[in-house]
Amino acid sequence: MSNLHPFFDMAVQELNRRQTATLGDRSTYIGASDVAGCARKVYLQKQTPLQPDTTMLLKFSRGHAAEWLLDRIFTAGGGVYDTQVELTHPSEPMKAHLDFLFYNDFDGNPELHAIEVKSVSGIPDAPYPQWEDQLGFQLGLLRMQYPKGKISGSILAMDLNAGQVHQFNGYGYDEPTFNYLYCRGLHLLDVLNGRDEPRPSPSILCGYCAHRDGCPAFSSPPVDLPVEVEMLAQKYAELNVVKNQAEKELKSIRQELVDYTGPKFKGHSDRCDLTVSYVEPSMTVDGTLLKKHFPDVYPQVLKARAGYSRLEVKTIRQREQLSAAE
């Protein structure tokens, strides 16, 4: 076996087909994630489905991995629950699939508790609105199926890399919320039947959308930031300030330490080791001089550098400070 990649790509596609088989033919019904998502994406995905590439499928499979792990954890803990519970609207082609449905609370009292699992890189400070809408729709269909008894739900955000789990808890069946989401479902059915326009509704999930190319939501900058993207951008800006302050402080502490140790040092205490080693001076190529004195050679020693996205976030305060300084 020499090149694994073609086999790997094929196997990932097959795994995805098997994992989503439990959801049935998604072009024939409106699901909870459709109701919570973007009408344009739902329309295009159902009319002209695009097969996600391996990278995207691997990202999606983090969700399945999180569910697989939680299933084993819940079983080990003796939880009474089912997985992938399908709920169907009695009159409209609308469905929801619950990741987990618990039948008791942790004191053994009867209660239906739906859990929607989200695999994340970094637990957000607050749940994304799409997650809450998805759960709200699930709880509505659950109430229709079980008109009596206690019903609740939560969103379990799981960061497998960091080994962190956070439960956004305290959700219950809410009639106005469900009615609103049900109307969104009806709107999607109108869109699919050509009776309404599939308007885009941008969110953090645009990063996973296969129909982003040509999406009108991104065609005329500046784009209005969805609330969860704004939340992340603000967090980025705050952490950047902390990082810059830390770098400044590190630089001055480093100088104080090296002033004490000199260029070579090894020391220790009960709490830490301190080592300073000296890097000998070395020579490097001066690109400007090379270009000036050897213009024929210069193009021959150039190598390609991959492009990248430069991210800059300015908070309103920083923007005001900057314009005041101008």
Among 117, 130, 114, CA closest to 36 = 130
Q: Does 70 sit near ligand SF4 (CB under 6 A)?
A: no
Q: Does 15 sit near ligand SF4 (CB under 6 A)?
A: no
CA distance 205 to 222: 18
CA distance 112 to 213: 41
Residue with tokens 């999180």: 66
Q: Does 209 sit near ligand SF4 (CB under 6 A)?
A: yes
Residue-wise burial string across 70-105, b where 16 or more C-beta atoms lie within 10 A, e elsewhere: bbeebeeeeeebebebebebeeeebbbbbbbbbeee
Q: Does 26 sit near ligand SF4 (CB under 6 A)?
A: no
Cα dist from 219 to 39, 200, 210, 224, 252, whole Å: 17, 11, 16, 12, 46
Phi then psi dihedrals of residue 254, to 5 deg:
-60, -45
Are the C-beta atoms of 70 and 158 separated by less than 8 Å? yes
| Residue 214 Cβ vs ligand SF4, minimum distance, rounded to whole Å | 9
Span interacting with ligand SF4, options 23-31, 36-44, 252-260, 297-305, rule CB under 6 A: 36-44
Are the C-beta atoms of 206 and 217 separated by less than 8 Å? yes
Which C-beta is closer to ligand SF4: that of 130 or that of 154? 130
The amino acid sitting at 160 is L
| Residue 220 Cβ vs ligand SF4, minimum distance, rounded to whole Å | 13
Pattern 213-242, binding to ligand SF4, x per CB under 6 A?
--x-x-------------------------
The only residue of 153, 185, 200, 226 in contact with ligand SF4, by rule CB under 6 A = 200
CA distance 103 to 110: 6
**CA atoms in the 13 A half-sphere facing the CB of 173:** 18
The only residue of 62, 64, 211, 291 in contact with ligand SF4, by rule CB under 6 A = 211
| Residue 123 Cβ vs ligand SF4, minimum distance, rounded to whole Å | 23
Which C-beta is closer to ligand SF4: that of 38 or that of 114? 38
Instruction: Determine the size of the site formed for ligand SF4 (CB under 6 A).
Output: 13
CA 164 to chain centre: 14
CA distance 67 to 63: 6
Span interacting with ligand SF4, options 110-118, 133-141, 207-215, 313-321, rule CB under 6 A: 207-215
| Residue 271 Cβ vs ligand SF4, minimum distance, rounded to whole Å | 50
Q: Does 30 sit near ligand SF4 (CB under 6 A)?
A: no
Which C-beta is closer to ligand SF4: that of 40 or that of 113? 40
Which C-beta is closer to ligand SF4: that of 83 or that of 132? 132
Q: Does 212 sit near ligand SF4 (CB under 6 A)?
A: yes
Which C-beta is closer to ligand SF4: that of 13 or that of 201? 201
Which C-beta is closer to ligand SF4: that of 139 or that of 217? 217
CA distance 11 to 1: 15
Site for ligand SF4 in 39-68 (CB under 6 A): 40-41
The only residue of 38, 98, 151, 158 in contact with ligand SF4, by rule CB under 6 A = 38
Are the C-beta atoms of 141 and 96 separated by less than 8 Å? yes
Q: Which residues bind ligand SF4 (CB under 6 A)?
A: 38, 40-41, 200-202, 205-206, 209, 211-212, 215, 217
